[in-house]
Structure 1
Amino acid sequence: MMIEINIDLFTTLYRYYPKGSGSLKVDKGTTADDLIRKLGIPDGAVSLIFINGKRVMPDRKLEENDKVGLFPLVAGG
């Protein structure tokens, strides 16, 4: 069974955006970490994961209509 989610990728992660739009169909049971791999984002490139405005761990399972925000590591000076 497939579910549909919405994705926002920030700053340097934008290049991994799904073609066409920010929505994506994934298998039910897909975790945030599975999604990161599916998008082709390298290991360690994502430092913060938000689902529906709340920070979550990578093992959080995605649900229908979740809004996922992925943020990269940020360096400052």
Structure 2
Amino acid sequence: MEKHIEIKLFATLSKFLPPDPDKFPISPGIKVRDVIRELKVPPEDVRIIFINSVRKDIDTVLQGGERVGIFPPLGGG
């Protein structure tokens, strides 16, 4: 059975959003790193990852149903 995640890419990463980010298909057991690769997001552009509003790392395993937010390095003053 195919599983899905909801994916949000912020700021400069938004150009990599898939056509249907609310139902991005995954295989259970896939890592965030693999999703980033599938979306063709340069890994060096990923700084912060949230899964279900909790900060996680790039090697976190996904099962389906998660909300994944990915942020680039942010600047500001």
- Length-normalised TM-score, structure 1: 0.90
Counterparts of 2:29 and 2:42 in 1: how far apart (Å)?
21
Deviation per CA, 1:28-56: give whole Å up to 9, x if none.
11101111111100121010000000000
Q: Which residue number in structure 2 is paired with residue 6 of structure 1? A: 6
Counterparts of 2:63 and 2:20 in 1: how far apart (Å)?
21
Q: Which residue number in structure 2 is paired with residue 70 of structure 1? A: 70
Greater share of residues in helix:
2
Counterparts of 1:63 and 1:17 in 2: how far apart (Å)?
20
Superposition pairs of residues 48-59 of structure 1, within 5 angstroms: 48-59=48-59
Q: Equivalent residue of 1:22, what SS?
A: helix
Unpaired runs of at least 5, structure 1: none
Greater share of residues in strand:
1
The runs of 4+ residues in structure 1 deviating greater than 4 Å are: none
- Length-normalised TM-score, structure 2: 0.90
Counterparts of 1:68 and 1:42 in 2: how far apart (Å)?
17
Unpaired runs of at least 5, structure 2: none
1:45 is aligned with what amino acid? Answer: D
Q: Which residue number in structure 1 is paired with residue 46 of structure 2? A: 46
Counterparts of 2:60 and 2:21 in 1: how far apart (Å)?
23
Superposition pairs of residues 7-46 of structure 1, within 5 angstroms: 7-46=7-46
Number of aligned positions between the proteins:
77
